[in-house]
Amino acid sequence: MTDWDFGDFPFGLELLTMPPVGPSRATAVTPYVAGPCDPGLTVMQLRFLADSPLVDDVPEEARKVSPEQIFWFRWITGHQITFVIWHLMGKLLEQTAERGEPDRSTAARLETYVSGYNAMLLYTGSCPLDTYQSLIRPRMYLQHRSFSGTWASDFTPVRSLFRGRGPARGASREAARLARAVEINKAIHDGIAARLVPAGKSLLQEAMTGPVVRPSERTALLYDNFFMTLRGPVDDDTTITQLLRRLRAVAMDLAVNGLYPLGHEGDERPEELRRVEVADCENRIGHVLHEVGEAAVTPAGSLSYQ
């Protein structure tokens, strides 16, 4: 039920293989999937882990792992999950653009995936400020002095949604719920940025005194490389398998350590992170993971709002 089979050891990492974004990114890479994953069983495990903290069947190595290992796992694996969520959202938005306003099932999936992205923002941003400043930010700086989230190629197909366009502008109840999830996303994103970068300047902004490094195929490769992501021909089943393996690994982490294993350690939480909607996302994060997994494996047209 709770096999710690992700990575070579508890809180280890795995390579992610994603479909290329644009024809210029196509390669002959063989998809990397470390182990089998039964979709139905994994969704059941996600539901169990959302409701039940893990107190048994936790290996000693997992209990004694260092905070640095946990937060590095969260930074890399949480971003990998985000890439897959963006990819799945992009496919839905492409289909929606072809037929107009999304149906109820499509709107439900989009809202679920936005909520999943919100959860990953909280998960990757759960590290204390000093850990971010001493462990994570310097590694991004060493990858590139202007390292930027704008280089994430999988975000391009969904950017318009997070800018309030597309399905989120519809008049239906479903569109309103989707727009609300997008609005919460902005609050969480802004709040985590304010907490982890209190000076208010990203690495990209700090590098503005030199030449501007605009997103390109080269920067996309640098970004993928940092997050252990390969690009190659990957079918839908393989993409979803990789997502489910990561969702389960994250759910096990949360079931053992909680979202804030070290507390907030005196970090001042910005106003955006003190909103009721953000607290609800924090409290429901395990259930959000289950909902994302369920949405990914549920046939088209079968998902609807409760």
- The Cα–Cα gap between 203 and 274 comes to 26
Residue with tokens 């096990």: 252
> Would you state the pLDDT for residue 265?
60
Q: What is the mean pLDDT of each run of 10 residues along the chain (306 residues)?
A: 83 95 63 79 95 83 94 98 97 82 83 98 95 94 92 94 78 83 96 86 48 84 96 92 96 95 78 95 97 92 52
> Would you state the pLDDT for residue 229?
96
The type of residue at 219 is T
The two three-digit tokens of residue 5, written as one number:
């089979």
> Would you state the pLDDT for residue 85?
98
> Would you state the pLDDT for residue 204?
44
> Would you state the pLDDT for residue 187?
96
- The Cα–Cα gap between 224 and 199 comes to 27
